[in-house]
């Protein structure tokens, strides 16, 4: 079992108040699987991992697939987690639509990047996994308000759960719970 990096707990703490135990969670863009592993343990949850590349470092099963076309039925999961995923896609709309289709609620964690210089540095740092693991590079950055405006273009109600920092305060982040609007 791999060592858990220091960032796993603050990320999970940012949305723990919205998760109830014994649920089905889809971790889209699961990466090394360390968040999924901790969610399974902490929430006694059944966690399914999907990503575009295989670099899972846990014993949890991973499906390599395109997150724009998930092979799950509507509302198969209680929650879908998109942790630092959307900015790695040139078409994040399709990924969010799929997450909203397969899960009752979606938790999004993204960087809150303010300023052109910080955006350029963030894109550079955040594109490193694309070289190492073959994942998509960072395509864009957004501020907190730009993320919230974008979420408003979907049939959801967005609730900011937490704003927090990682990597000694360089990365500002926002965690948002998206609930589908009832027709």
Task: Specify the CATH number for the domain of residue 112.
Answer: 3.40.50.150
For residue 66, which of 104, 93, 42, 98 has the smallest C-alpha distance?
98
Instruction: Tell whether 2 is covered by a domain.
Output: no
Q: How far apart are CA 53 and CA 56, in angstroms?
A: 9
User: Would you tell me how many other CB atoms lie within 10 Å of the CB of residue 164?
Assistant: 16
Residue 7 has pLDDT above 90, yes or no: no
For residue 164, which of 144, 140, 136, 183 has the smallest C-alpha distance?
144
Q: How far apart are CA 62 and CA 68, in angstroms?
A: 16
pTM of the model: 0.92
Structural domain that includes position 120: 8-180
Instruction: Tell whether 3 is covered by a domain.
Output: no
Predicted pLDDT at 135: 76
Instruction: Tell whether 1 is covered by a domain.
Output: no
How many domains, in total, are found in the chain?
Answer: 1
Residue 1 has pLDDT above 60, yes or no: no
Q: Which range (20-24, 122-126, 165-169) has the least confidence?
A: 165-169
């Amino acid at each position: 079992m791999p060592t858990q990096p220091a960032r796993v707990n603050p990320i999970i703490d940012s949305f723990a108040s919205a998760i109830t135990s014994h649920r089905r969670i889809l971790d889209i863009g699961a990466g090394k699987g360390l968040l999924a592993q901790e969610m399974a343990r902490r929430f006694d949850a059944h966690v399914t991992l999907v990503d575009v590349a295989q670099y899972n470092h846990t014993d949890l099963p991973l499906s390599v697939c395109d997150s724009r076309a998930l092979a799950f039925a509507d509302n198969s999961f209680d929650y879908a987690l998109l942790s630092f995923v959307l900015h790695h896609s040139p078409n994040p709309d399709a990924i969010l639509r799929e997450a909203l289709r397969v899960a009752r609620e979606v938790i999004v964690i993204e960087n809150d990047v303010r300023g052109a210089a910080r955006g350029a540095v963030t894109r550079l740092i955040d594109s490193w996994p694309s070289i190492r693991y073959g994942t998509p590079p960072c395509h864009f950055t957004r501020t907190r308000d730009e993320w919230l405006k974008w979420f408003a273009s979907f049939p959801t109600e967005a609730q900011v759960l937490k704003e927090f920092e990682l990597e000694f305060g360089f990365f500002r982040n926002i965690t948002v719970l998206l609930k589908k609007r009832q027709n």
